[in-house]
Amino acid sequence: MEEVKLYAMTCGWITMPYGFFMAGEAGDLAIPVPCYLIEHPKGTVLFDTGLELSLQSEDPEVVKKSLGVFADLTTVNFVPGEDVAKRLEAFGVDPLKINFIINSHLHFDHCGGNACIPNARLVIQKREWEAAKNEENIKNEIYAPRHYDLGHDRLEIDGEHDLFGDGSIVLIPSFGHTPGHQSLKVKVDGVDVVITADACYLKASLEKMTLPDAMVVNDAQGMLNNFNLFKQLKSKGAFVLYGHDPEQSKLLTDGSIRRINSEALARLQ
C-alpha cells in the first residue's frame, strides 16, 4: 500500500450548551469545528467541510438565519481565513481539485463548506441523504438543502465502504446521532485512526459512556453501540479522534492544516 497522508484542521469554533454533548452537564462548551484532508495515491479526500461562509457575517440576523433551529443556543467564532477552502489554499491545495467529499452527516457544521468544493464527488450514506431530503426535517430546520443539495456527483452507500478498495480509507456506519451518520477509519503509518465525528463528541463521552442530550440523538441505542465499537477499536490499537473535543484538537492543530502521523498521535497518549 502506498503512503496515505492525513491532515487535521480547525474551521472555526462554536459554543453551545455543554449538555448537548454530555447529558446532565451545566454551562456552555466551546468546541472546534474540525475537517480532515486525506491524500491518497488515487485521489484527494475531505472528511467534512465545516461551516458555511455566511456564518462569518457581522450581521446577527444573517448568522441567525444560517443557524436555523440552533440559532438561540449557538455562538459562532468563525473569521475569514478559517473556512475549509481558505485553509486548503493556505496549505497549497486547490479546493477545485479535491476528488471526494465524505460528509459524516448533513448538519450545518459538517457540510457547510461543500459549496466551496464544487468538483468533488460526494460520498454519503443513503439513509442520511434520505433523511436530509425529508420535507418535515427540512421544515423543522434539522437539515438545510443549501448546504448539500448542490449538484455534486454523488455516491450513496449502504453501510461500510472501502473508498479505494485497499483498506486505507474505510467509511464506518455509525447511525445514532442522525439516521445515516458515518465515521471514518484511515490507515496512518500502519495504525488505524478512527475519526468519530458526531458519533462520539468528546473523549469524556466515551470514558463515561455518557450520551448527548436527547435533542441531538436520533437513536440512543445506536449511539451506545457506536461507543462500544470505538472502545473495541481502541483495544485493538486504534487511535480515536473525537468529533468536537477541544483539548484533543489543540494537541493536533493550531487551526491550520497539520499532518497527523505517528509523532502527532503520540501526543494523544
pLDDT for 263? 92
Query: What residues does 102 pair with on adjacent strands?
Result: 47, 123
1: pLDDT confidence band, cut at 50, 70 and 90?
A: low
pLDDT tens-digit readout, 8-30: 999 999 999 999 999 999 999 99
pLDDT for 87? 98
pLDDT tens-digit readout, 178-210: 999 999 999 999 999 999 999 999 999 999 999
Global pTM?
A: 0.97
pLDDT tens-digit readout, 56-109: 999 999 999 899 888 999 999 999 999 999 999 999 999 999 999 999 999 999
Residue that the C-alpha cell 420535507 belongs to: 135
C-alpha 192/C-alpha 245 separation (Å) is 19
pLDDT tens-digit readout, 247-260: 999 999 999 999 99
Q: How many alpha carbons fall within 13 Å on the CB side of residue 237?
A: 7
pLDDT for 227? 99
- The overall average pLDDT reported for the chain is 97
Q: Could you give the 3-state DSSP secondary structure of residue 185?
A: strand
pLDDT of 269 over the 90 cut: no
pLDDT tens-digit readout, 127-170: 999 999 999 999 999 999 999 999 999 999 999 999 999 999 99
C-alpha 243/C-alpha 78 separation (Å) is 18
Q: Of 74, 257, 67, nearest to 147 (Cα)?
A: 67
pLDDT for 194? 99
pLDDT for 251? 95
> 92's torsion region: left (phi>0), alpha (psi -120 to 50) or beta?
left
**Cβ 122 vs Cβ 101: under 8 Å:** yes
Can you list the domains of the chain with their CATH numbers? 5-264 (3.60.15.10)
Q: Could you give the 3-state DSSP secondary structure of residue 202?
A: coil
pLDDT for 68? 87
